[in-house]
Structures are given as structure tokens and as C-alpha cells.
Amino acid sequence: MNCPYCLAPGTRMETHAHLGRDHAEQVRMSRDEAKGRLLFALDCPFCDEGLERVANPRGREPGFLEEFRREITLVAFDLLLYHLHASHAERVGLPPIREEAPAGGTT
Ligand SMILES: [Zn+2]
Ligand SMILES: [Zn+2]
């Protein structure tokens, strides 16, 4: 497959690692101090669908956030890869998903 940002070729795993290494800045994070949680968001490079999730550092020390940030970045790109596979497979050189989409989807 190809990286959705710079078209670098690689396997899905290689691309995942590449995204976390070279495109980590694509993942936006913000801290919700009041609730002690972390919000992260990542826009799809091909459509308006944004990914947004809440992560819970589970009482980790603030100093852990940098390390946590790395984990979150990889989680976010995993979600993006899943979305790319489901919606933009041909644009990143992935084989299209064959299984049928759920009928009467909720989105
Ligand atoms: Zn890239
Ligand atoms: Zn998309």
C-alpha cells in the first residue's frame, strides 16, 4: 500500500510505523483537564470524515503523556488505516474489502 500523505510504499504494518514516525503531527491532541482525559483527532486526507476519540491516561503522571502520546498516535493511525481500507482502498493501493457492508448502516 502507499502512505496516504506522501505515497511512500510499504506493507500495512510498515505504513503504520511510517505514519507514526513521519506524520505524527497529523494527530491533534487536546487535554481535557477537568475530566482528566485526552482527546485526539485525525482528519482523513481524502474525505471530510474525521476520526475523533477520547483516550484516558488513567491517572498517569503528566510526565507520561509524551510516551502516551506515541501510543495514541499509533492508535489513531490504526483507526485511519481501517477507514482508508474501508472507504479509500483504491487510493492507497489496498485490495478492496469484500465483505458486505452492514445493511441500513447507522452512520
Ligand atoms: Zn508518508
Ligand atoms: Zn476518508
In the chain, where are the structural domains located? Answer: 12-91
Q: Kindly give the pairing relationship between strand 37-43 and strand 50-55.
A: antiparallel
Is pLDDT of 105 > 60? no
**Nearest ligand atom owner, CA of 47:** 2
**Nearest ligand atom owner, CA of 49:** 2
Question: What residue has cell string 506524520?
Answer: 23
Give the neighbor-by-neighbor strand order of the sheet with 37-43.
Answer: 28-32, 37-43, 50-55
Name residues with Cβ closer than 5 Å to ligand 2, which is an ion.
44, 46-47, 49, 87
CA distance 38 to 31: 5
Is pLDDT of 106 > 60? no
C-alpha cell at 16: 503504520
CA 3 to ligand 2 centroid distance, Å: 14
Q: Residues 78-88: what's their mean pLDDT?
A: 95
CA distance 34 to 79: 26
Backbone angles phi, psi at 98, to 5 degrees: -90, -35
Q: Residues 89-105: what's their mean pLDDT?
A: 75
